[in-house]
Amino acid sequence: MKLKSFEIKKILIPIDFSETALLAIEHGAFMAKLNKADIILVHVLEHNWQNFNIVAPEIKFEKPANVLTIIEEKLKIVAEKIRKDYGVNSICISSEGNICKEIVQLAESENADLIVMGTHGASGFEEFFMGSNSYKVVTLSPCPVLTVQSHSRRVGFSEILLPIDNTGHSRQKVAYTIELAKKYGARIHVLGLLDEEDTQDLSKFNLKIEQVKEFIEKNEIPATAEIKVGGNQAKNTIVFAKQHNADLIAIMTDQEENFTGSFLGAYAQQIVNHSWVPVLSIKPVENPDNISWTYPYN
Protein backbone atom coordinates (compact mmCIF):
# COMPACT_ATOMS: atom_id res chain seq x y z
CA MET A 1 0.00 0.00 0.00
CA LYS A 2 1.31 3.43 -0.93
CA LEU A 3 2.12 5.75 1.97
CA LYS A 4 1.08 9.37 2.11
CA SER A 5 4.20 11.39 1.43
CA PHE A 6 5.47 13.51 4.31
CA GLU A 7 7.10 16.16 2.16
CA ILE A 8 9.12 18.84 3.93
CA LYS A 9 9.63 21.85 1.70
CA LYS A 10 9.20 24.69 4.21
CA ILE A 11 10.45 24.59 7.80
CA LEU A 12 9.42 27.36 10.16
CA ILE A 13 11.80 27.97 13.08
CA PRO A 14 10.71 30.40 15.83
CA ILE A 15 13.77 31.84 17.57
CA ASP A 16 14.29 33.96 20.67
CA PHE A 17 18.10 33.68 20.44
CA SER A 18 18.17 31.35 23.45
CA GLU A 19 20.31 28.21 23.71
CA THR A 20 17.44 25.89 22.81
CA ALA A 21 16.43 28.11 19.88
CA LEU A 22 19.95 27.85 18.46
CA LEU A 23 19.80 24.07 18.86
CA ALA A 24 16.47 24.08 17.03
CA ILE A 25 18.16 25.94 14.19
CA GLU A 26 20.83 23.23 13.94
CA HIS A 27 18.20 20.48 13.81
CA GLY A 28 16.01 22.44 11.39
CA ALA A 29 18.88 23.42 9.09
CA PHE A 30 20.15 19.84 8.92
CA MET A 31 16.65 18.64 8.09
CA ALA A 32 16.24 21.40 5.49
CA LYS A 33 19.48 20.37 3.77
CA LEU A 34 18.40 16.72 3.78
CA ASN A 35 14.99 17.55 2.27
CA LYS A 36 16.11 20.44 0.04
CA ALA A 37 13.70 22.64 1.96
CA ASP A 38 13.57 26.36 2.73
CA ILE A 39 13.75 27.81 6.24
CA ILE A 40 11.54 30.56 7.64
CA LEU A 41 13.12 32.21 10.69
CA VAL A 42 10.55 33.88 12.92
CA HIS A 43 10.85 36.10 15.95
CA VAL A 44 7.73 37.33 17.73
CA LEU A 45 8.08 40.35 19.99
CA GLU A 46 5.51 40.29 22.74
CA HIS A 47 3.55 43.47 23.39
CA ASN A 48 5.20 43.85 26.79
CA TRP A 49 8.53 44.55 25.08
CA GLN A 50 9.97 45.98 28.34
CA ASN A 51 10.55 42.42 29.54
CA PHE A 52 12.47 41.49 26.41
CA ASN A 53 15.89 42.24 27.89
CA ILE A 54 15.17 39.68 30.62
CA VAL A 55 14.40 36.97 28.05
CA ALA A 56 17.27 37.86 25.73
CA PRO A 57 19.81 40.00 27.62
CA GLU A 58 22.34 39.70 24.80
CA ILE A 59 20.20 42.08 22.72
CA LYS A 60 20.61 45.68 23.90
CA PHE A 61 18.47 48.63 22.84
CA GLU A 62 17.56 52.08 24.10
CA LYS A 63 14.20 52.92 22.54
CA PRO A 64 11.15 50.73 21.80
CA ALA A 65 11.20 51.81 18.15
CA ASN A 66 14.62 50.21 17.77
CA VAL A 67 13.59 46.77 18.97
CA LEU A 68 12.25 45.26 15.73
CA THR A 69 15.11 46.80 13.74
CA ILE A 70 17.69 45.16 15.99
CA ILE A 71 15.83 41.85 15.88
CA GLU A 72 15.64 41.94 12.09
CA GLU A 73 19.38 42.54 11.87
CA LYS A 74 20.11 39.60 14.15
CA LEU A 75 17.75 37.39 12.13
CA LYS A 76 19.62 38.31 8.95
CA ILE A 77 22.91 37.31 10.56
CA VAL A 78 21.47 33.92 11.56
CA ALA A 79 19.98 33.42 8.08
CA GLU A 80 23.30 34.18 6.42
CA LYS A 81 25.10 31.70 8.66
CA ILE A 82 22.53 29.01 7.74
CA ARG A 83 23.07 29.70 4.04
CA LYS A 84 26.84 29.54 4.50
CA ASP A 85 26.94 26.42 6.70
CA TYR A 86 24.14 24.37 5.15
CA GLY A 87 23.52 25.84 1.69
CA VAL A 88 19.88 26.33 2.64
CA ASN A 89 17.73 29.28 1.60
CA SER A 90 16.37 31.21 4.60
CA ILE A 91 13.93 34.08 4.92
CA CYS A 92 13.31 36.19 8.01
CA ILE A 93 10.03 37.34 9.52
CA SER A 94 9.62 39.48 12.63
CA SER A 95 6.26 40.33 14.14
CA GLU A 96 4.67 41.60 17.31
CA GLY A 97 1.89 40.07 19.38
CA ASN A 98 1.07 36.83 21.17
CA ILE A 99 3.92 34.38 20.57
CA CYS A 100 1.87 31.22 20.09
CA LYS A 101 -0.86 32.88 18.03
CA GLU A 102 1.64 34.55 15.71
CA ILE A 103 3.64 31.36 15.16
CA VAL A 104 0.53 29.33 14.32
CA GLN A 105 -0.82 32.02 11.98
CA LEU A 106 2.52 32.30 10.19
CA ALA A 107 2.72 28.53 9.80
CA GLU A 108 -0.67 28.66 8.09
CA SER A 109 -0.03 31.70 5.89
CA GLU A 110 3.44 30.48 4.83
CA ASN A 111 2.21 26.90 4.23
CA ALA A 112 4.90 25.47 6.49
CA ASP A 113 5.28 21.69 6.42
CA LEU A 114 7.03 21.54 9.76
CA ILE A 115 7.76 23.76 12.77
CA VAL A 116 11.04 23.18 14.59
CA MET A 117 11.32 24.99 17.90
CA GLY A 118 13.19 24.87 21.17
CA THR A 119 11.38 24.23 24.41
CA HIS A 120 12.49 25.06 27.92
CA GLY A 121 10.00 22.57 29.34
CA ALA A 122 7.57 23.32 32.13
CA SER A 123 6.80 21.98 35.57
CA GLY A 124 4.80 22.69 38.69
CA PHE A 125 2.47 25.69 38.55
CA GLU A 126 3.29 26.52 34.93
CA GLU A 127 2.65 22.99 33.66
CA PHE A 128 -0.69 22.70 35.49
CA PHE A 129 -2.16 26.05 34.51
CA MET A 130 -0.51 27.07 31.27
CA GLY A 131 1.97 24.64 29.85
CA SER A 132 4.96 25.84 27.86
CA ASN A 133 4.77 28.05 24.77
CA SER A 134 6.02 25.08 22.78
CA TYR A 135 3.21 22.85 23.98
CA LYS A 136 0.63 25.50 23.07
CA VAL A 137 2.08 25.71 19.56
CA VAL A 138 2.08 21.91 19.34
CA THR A 139 -1.62 21.68 20.18
CA LEU A 140 -2.68 24.40 17.71
CA SER A 141 -0.23 24.02 14.84
CA PRO A 142 -1.65 23.10 11.40
CA CYS A 143 1.49 21.04 10.67
CA PRO A 144 3.75 18.64 12.61
CA VAL A 145 6.02 20.23 15.24
CA LEU A 146 9.52 19.08 16.21
CA THR A 147 10.41 20.30 19.70
CA VAL A 148 14.01 20.35 20.90
CA GLN A 149 15.27 20.64 24.48
CA SER A 150 18.71 21.81 25.58
CA HIS A 151 19.86 18.18 25.96
CA SER A 152 19.21 17.46 22.25
CA ARG A 153 22.67 18.35 20.97
CA ARG A 154 23.07 15.38 18.63
CA VAL A 155 21.72 16.35 15.22
CA GLY A 156 20.13 13.66 13.08
CA PHE A 157 18.13 10.56 13.98
CA SER A 158 19.21 6.94 14.03
CA GLU A 159 16.87 5.42 16.65
CA ILE A 160 13.23 6.58 16.46
CA LEU A 161 10.73 5.67 19.17
CA LEU A 162 7.16 5.12 17.98
CA PRO A 163 4.75 4.78 20.94
CA ILE A 164 1.40 3.20 20.03
CA ASP A 165 -1.55 3.12 22.42
CA ASN A 166 -4.97 1.51 22.01
CA THR A 167 -6.63 4.53 20.39
CA GLY A 168 -7.26 4.57 16.65
CA HIS A 169 -5.54 7.87 15.93
CA SER A 170 -2.35 6.78 17.70
CA ARG A 171 -1.41 4.75 14.62
CA GLN A 172 -1.74 7.68 12.23
CA LYS A 173 1.88 8.65 12.89
CA VAL A 174 3.22 5.40 11.43
CA ALA A 175 3.48 6.79 7.89
CA TYR A 176 5.21 9.99 9.04
CA THR A 177 7.70 8.02 11.10
CA ILE A 178 8.52 5.68 8.22
CA GLU A 179 9.17 8.64 5.91
CA LEU A 180 11.57 10.20 8.44
CA ALA A 181 13.31 6.88 9.06
CA LYS A 182 13.91 6.51 5.32
CA LYS A 183 15.41 10.01 5.12
CA TYR A 184 17.75 9.47 8.06
CA GLY A 185 18.47 5.75 7.62
CA ALA A 186 17.05 5.16 11.11
CA ARG A 187 15.65 2.18 12.97
CA ILE A 188 12.15 2.37 14.49
CA HIS A 189 11.33 1.05 17.97
CA VAL A 190 7.60 0.37 18.33
CA LEU A 191 6.46 0.70 21.95
CA GLY A 192 2.96 -0.57 22.70
CA LEU A 193 1.37 1.22 25.66
CA LEU A 194 -1.59 -0.51 27.31
CA ASP A 195 -3.53 0.47 30.43
CA GLU A 196 -3.89 -2.16 33.13
CA GLU A 197 -7.69 -2.13 32.81
CA ASP A 198 -7.31 -3.12 29.15
CA THR A 199 -5.27 -6.27 29.78
CA GLN A 200 -8.17 -8.43 28.60
CA ASP A 201 -7.33 -7.09 25.13
CA LEU A 202 -3.62 -7.88 25.46
CA SER A 203 -3.53 -10.59 22.79
CA LYS A 204 -5.44 -8.40 20.32
CA PHE A 205 -3.21 -5.41 21.12
CA ASN A 206 -0.08 -7.52 20.72
CA LEU A 207 -1.30 -8.49 17.23
CA LYS A 208 -1.73 -4.80 16.32
CA ILE A 209 1.78 -3.97 17.48
CA GLU A 210 3.23 -6.86 15.50
CA GLN A 211 1.32 -5.69 12.42
CA VAL A 212 2.82 -2.21 12.82
CA LYS A 213 6.30 -3.73 13.08
CA GLU A 214 5.72 -5.91 10.01
CA PHE A 215 4.45 -2.95 8.00
CA ILE A 216 7.54 -0.93 8.91
CA GLU A 217 9.82 -3.79 7.90
CA LYS A 218 7.94 -4.18 4.58
CA ASN A 219 9.04 -0.59 3.90
CA GLU A 220 12.64 -1.75 4.37
CA ILE A 221 13.08 -0.08 7.75
CA PRO A 222 14.59 -2.12 10.60
CA ALA A 223 12.23 -2.30 13.57
CA THR A 224 11.75 -3.71 17.05
CA ALA A 225 8.53 -4.07 19.08
CA GLU A 226 7.75 -4.23 22.78
CA ILE A 227 4.71 -3.73 25.02
CA LYS A 228 4.50 -1.97 28.39
CA VAL A 229 1.40 -2.56 30.51
CA GLY A 230 0.23 -0.16 33.22
CA GLY A 231 1.96 2.73 34.94
CA ASN A 232 2.40 6.28 33.67
CA GLN A 233 2.57 5.96 29.89
CA ALA A 234 4.59 9.15 29.45
CA LYS A 235 7.14 8.02 32.02
CA ASN A 236 7.30 4.57 30.40
CA THR A 237 7.96 6.23 27.05
CA ILE A 238 10.75 8.47 28.33
CA VAL A 239 12.43 5.63 30.24
CA PHE A 240 12.22 3.37 27.17
CA ALA A 241 13.73 6.14 25.04
CA LYS A 242 16.74 6.36 27.36
CA GLN A 243 17.18 2.60 27.55
CA HIS A 244 17.22 2.26 23.76
CA ASN A 245 19.22 5.45 23.04
CA ALA A 246 16.33 6.88 21.04
CA ASP A 247 17.03 10.28 19.51
CA LEU A 248 13.45 11.05 18.43
CA ILE A 249 9.98 10.31 19.83
CA ALA A 250 6.92 10.54 17.54
CA ILE A 251 3.58 11.29 19.21
CA MET A 252 0.09 12.55 18.40
CA THR A 253 -1.00 15.94 19.76
CA ASP A 254 -4.36 15.03 21.29
CA GLN A 255 -3.78 12.01 23.43
CA GLU A 256 -6.03 13.72 25.95
CA GLU A 257 -8.69 15.43 23.81
CA ASN A 258 -7.77 18.75 25.38
CA PHE A 259 -6.37 21.41 23.08
CA THR A 260 -5.76 24.10 25.71
CA GLY A 261 -2.43 22.75 26.87
CA SER A 262 -3.53 23.03 30.50
CA PHE A 263 -4.41 19.46 31.49
CA LEU A 264 -1.88 18.12 33.96
CA GLY A 265 -0.89 14.55 33.34
CA ALA A 266 -1.76 14.55 29.63
CA TYR A 267 0.53 12.17 27.73
CA ALA A 268 1.52 14.60 24.99
CA GLN A 269 2.16 17.44 27.42
CA GLN A 270 4.41 15.36 29.65
CA ILE A 271 6.41 14.11 26.67
CA VAL A 272 6.90 17.57 25.13
CA ASN A 273 7.83 19.15 28.47
CA HIS A 274 10.08 16.41 29.84
CA SER A 275 11.65 14.45 27.00
CA TRP A 276 15.43 14.78 26.73
CA VAL A 277 15.32 13.97 23.02
CA PRO A 278 13.46 15.77 20.21
CA VAL A 279 9.74 15.08 19.95
CA LEU A 280 7.79 15.04 16.68
CA SER A 281 4.15 15.91 17.43
CA ILE A 282 1.59 15.17 14.74
CA LYS A 283 -1.96 16.47 14.59
CA PRO A 284 -4.49 13.65 14.02
CA VAL A 285 -6.72 13.49 10.96
CA GLU A 286 -10.39 14.07 11.81
CA ASN A 287 -11.75 11.38 9.47
CA PRO A 288 -9.05 8.70 9.30
CA ASP A 289 -11.41 6.13 7.78
CA ASN A 290 -11.33 8.15 4.56
CA ILE A 291 -7.53 8.00 4.30
CA SER A 292 -6.12 4.61 3.42
CA TRP A 293 -2.56 5.29 4.55
CA THR A 294 -3.72 5.96 8.10
CA TYR A 295 -4.42 2.26 8.72
CA PRO A 296 -1.88 0.17 6.83
CA TYR A 297 -3.15 -3.03 8.47
CA ASN A 298 -6.42 -4.67 9.38
Are 78 and 15 a contacting pair, CB within 8 Å? yes
Rounded to whole angstroms, the Cα distance separating 248 from 183 reads 13
**Interstrand relation of 90-96 and 38-45 (parallel, antiparallel or unpaired):** parallel
Q: For position 293, what pLDDT does the model report?
A: 39
Asked whether the predicted pLDDT for residue 101 surpasses 60, the reply is yes
Distance from C-alpha of 37 to C-alpha of 123, rounded to nearest angstrom: 34
Binned at pLDDT 50, 70 and 90, residue 139 comes out as confident
pLDDT of residue 289: 46
For the chain, give the percent of residues with pLDDT over 70: 77
Q: How many whole angstroms separate alpha carbon 91 and alpha carbon 232?
A: 42
pTM of structure: 0.83
Q: How far apart are CA 186 and CA 160, in angstroms?
A: 7
- Give the C-alpha separation, 110 to 59, whole Å: 27
Across 56-79, average pLDDT: 73
Residue 65 has pLDDT above 70, yes or no: no
* Across 135-142, average pLDDT: 85
Task: Between 293 and 83, name the one with better pLDDT.
Answer: 83
Helix (H) or strand (E) holding 281: strand 279-282
What percentage of the chain exceeds 90 in pLDDT?
47
Q: Is the dihedral of CA 102, 108, 112, 116 positive or negative?
A: positive
> What rounded mean pLDDT belongs to the chain?
81
Residue 220 contacts by C-beta under 8 Å, 6 or more apart in sequence? 182
